[in-house]
Amino acid sequence: MNPTSENLQHLRHTLAHLMAAAVLELYPDAKPTIGPAIDNGFYYDYEFSGTNPDGTTNKPTEKELKDIEKKMRKLLPSWKEMSGKEVSEVEAREIFKGNQYKLELISDIIAKGEKITLYTAGHFTDLCRGGHSESPAKDVPADCFKLSRIAGAYWKGDEANTQLTRIYGLAFETKAELEAYENMMKEAEKRDHRKLGKEMDIFDFDDDVGPGLPIWLPNGTAIVEELEKLAKESEFKAGYVRVKTPHIAKESMYLKSGHLPYYAESMFPPMEYEDGKYYLKAMNCPHHHKVYASRPKSYRDLPLRLAEYGTCYRHEKSGELFGLMRVRALNMNDAHTYCTEEQFADEFRAVNDMYINYFKIFGIDKYIMRFSTHDPKRLGEKFVNEPDLWKKTEDMVREVLVDSKIPFVEVANEAAFYGPKIDVQVWSAIGREFTLATNQVDFSVPKKFDLVYTDKDGTQKTPLCIHRAPLGTHERFIGFLIEHYGGNFPLWLAPVQVAIIPVGDAHMDEAKKVRDMLHSAMIRTDFDTSSNGFGKKIRNAKNMRIPYTIIIGDKDMEVKKVTLESRDHGQIGQLSVEEVVRKFEEEIKERK
């Protein structure tokens, strides 16, 4: 369940302590630094400084993880209880005197004016804010965890600092849940979008183009264009209009929007052009605000819904780039709705309906909306100082979410500066969680761009703006879909929709005719004319996960039909080409 239950959170945090205790028993010179609970378990970062007889550092490798795990299980029964107490700075410094990392953390706590607390279980005491199982021996099942891997990590995440050794553990409330998670990850590995993306010729990277800049190969572009088509149809029906804006703008645009200087480090560096600096856009909003501003607007023009599949460029650290999931070029299913306060609830509801419709189309059964609200204490500081608008819009958003029975959690103090926000989390078919899309209310930026409309009474008012991207970016969404479908794209999305395979050379001409008929009907075909044998051709089509295969042999030609096989449902039987086309057209139209 998401969010993680408090109990599971405590269990994981306790296991981080337990691992540190076990590590210290096996590596007495190790210095534990920090060890939090995370999404699927916990980790702890250590400095290992003991030396082996041969002079190398005495530190564990993947193969020693089993020993540490064993030691954890041995210590666990003796951790009858885990209790905390407050200590003075002097006491704390005495206890951690050999560990410069803990001493630095103590200084940090003192600087923030917070209290120092220690938690002890068994013989192990750690500097800690608390949040553990009260009785580990009883509360933590010995078979609910597993140490999973070792990685490097910098102290406080800063590359200028010492590199530490991070040991990760998986932990769940029961053994069954742990196993389910491990099975899911094994399946996720088989469905890894980078692996399938390569096998299925979906995308590529190139050193001369640059890291994090995906090149969509023909097969990937077919998926991209089907998604765009879906978005365009859905958006047209929902009353959006489309715009097309440049990928660059002058510095003055981003000074106006406030992206410069505050967001500068997420943007690509500027081009020094003849009339000043130009930037690649990192978001489409400012350009859309300019579309709004290009003509005077009256209340009759609202709501105005501007949609664009804009490509944005963002700086991501090279170490954080990851396949299609974290990239520097993002094709966003973006739109901005400008509306009055009165129109807001309906507009917001319509955006939610669009989400739900997409979930249905893609067979996404599990999803949740994370609704981030403001903290009234931080108005004018972390949140734009519009108490009434915050209250009004948050109430409306909440009401829409409750009304439409969408599962959601509300998180205070995490809204954007300019308004409440919703992050959409979805689970793939194998149960892995992805954050795909956001939906934000903005009552601050339209003012910066002097966006106004003339109301019925002749006064000039500032519209609200909803930023929304239900399909997120092509990059992340297609990465998600590859895993979700395991590469078995439904017919409408499949890069190649049907493979045409003649049984022998005698059937080649007929196969060519069939191929031409399907191609004329705008079906994406693969006609294997190679000298490969029939069996190999069939296997190739399977490897490419093509939804349908058409086989043409003597028996087919005799009755002027073809034999149709489905990837998902096996042999379908003999059909005329016209019947095949009709079947495909229907299946594609319905996006089944």
One residue of 77, 210, 376, 407 binding a second copy per CB under 8 A: 210
Establish if 56 lies at the interface with a second copy (CB under 8 A).
no
Strands 460-461 and 453-454: antiparallel
Nearer to a second copy, 239 or 407 (CB): 239
Nearer to a second copy, 224 or 384 (CB): 224
Establish if 222 lies at the interface with a second copy (CB under 8 A).
yes
Establish if 450 lies at the interface with a second copy (CB under 8 A).
no
CA distance 25 to 29: 9
Q: Provide DSSP, 26-65.
A: H-TT-EE----EETTEEEEEEE---B-TTSSB----GGGH
CB of 351 within 8 A of CB of 392?
no
CB of 384 within 8 A of CB of 462?
no
Stretch binding a second copy (CB under 8 A), from 88-96, 229-237, 462-470, 550-558: 229-237
One residue of 273, 365, 402, 513 binding a second copy per CB under 8 A: 273
One residue of 46, 119, 216, 367 binding a second copy per CB under 8 A: 216
CB of 279 to a second copy, least distance (A): 9
Nearest to 119 by CA among 72, 89, 79, 85: 85
Stretch binding a second copy (CB under 8 A), from 218-226, 353-361, 541-549, 564-572: 218-226
CA distance 489 to 482: 8
Establish if 208 lies at the interface with a second copy (CB under 8 A).
yes
Q: Is the dihedral of CA 350, 356, 361, 367 positive or negative?
A: positive
What are the residues facing 333 on neighbouring strands? Answer: 309
Stretch binding a second copy (CB under 8 A), from 57-65, 179-187, 234-242, 462-470: 234-242
CA distances to 421, 529, 569 from 370, rounded to whole Å, are: 8, 51, 37
Stretch binding a second copy (CB under 8 A), from 52-60, 151-159, 244-252, 396-404: 244-252
Establish if 454 lies at the interface with a second copy (CB under 8 A).
no
Q: What angle do CA 355, 351, 233 make, to 5 degrees?
A: 75
- H, E, C per residue of 374-421: CCHHHECCCECCCHHHHHHHHHHHHHHHHHCCCCEEEECCCCECCECE
Establish if 225 lies at the interface with a second copy (CB under 8 A).
yes
Residue 246 CA, chain-centre distance (Å), reads 26
Stretch binding a second copy (CB under 8 A), from 13-21, 47-55, 70-78, 273-281: 273-281
Establish if 233 lies at the interface with a second copy (CB under 8 A).
yes
CA distance 118 to 124: 10
Nearer to a second copy, 274 or 558 (CB): 274
Q: What angle do CA 91, 58, 151 make, to 5 degrees?
A: 85
Stretch binding a second copy (CB under 8 A), from 152-160, 231-239, 365-373, 486-494: 231-239
Nearer to a second copy, 298 or 460 (CB): 298
One residue of 39, 158, 189, 207 binding a second copy per CB under 8 A: 207
Stretch binding a second copy (CB under 8 A), from 1-9, 184-192, 211-219, 534-542: 211-219
Nearer to a second copy, 35 or 214 (CB): 214
Stretch binding a second copy (CB under 8 A), from 87-95, 305-313, 366-374, 387-395: 305-313
Nearer to a second copy, 142 or 522 (CB): 522
One residue of 272, 320, 505, 558 binding a second copy per CB under 8 A: 272
For 288, the 3-state DSSP assignment is: helix
CB of 242 to a second copy, least distance (A): 4
Neighbours of 237 (CB within 10 A): 10
For 127, the 3-state DSSP assignment is: strand
Q: Which of residues 489-528 bind a second copy (CB under 8 A)?
A: 519-520, 522
CA distance 95 to 102: 10
Establish if 224 lies at the interface with a second copy (CB under 8 A).
yes
One residue of 13, 31, 132, 256 binding a second copy per CB under 8 A: 256
Q: Look at the chain and count its residues.
A: 592
Q: Provide DSSP, 229-242.
A: HHHHHHHHHTT-EE
State the Cα torsion 513-515-516-520 to the nearest 10°: 140
Nearer to a second copy, 48 or 278 (CB): 278
One residue of 73, 194, 195, 250 binding a second copy per CB under 8 A: 250
Report phi then psi at 117, rounded to 5.
Answer: -125, 145
Tokens 């991501």 belong to 316
Establish if 218 lies at the interface with a second copy (CB under 8 A).
yes
Q: Which chain residues interact with a second copy by CB under 8 A? A: 201, 204, 206-211, 213-218, 220-222, 224-225, 232-233, 236-237, 239, 241-250, 252-253, 256, 268-275, 278, 280, 286-287, 290-291, 293-295, 300, 306, 311, 313, 318, 329, 331, 519-520, 522, 529-530
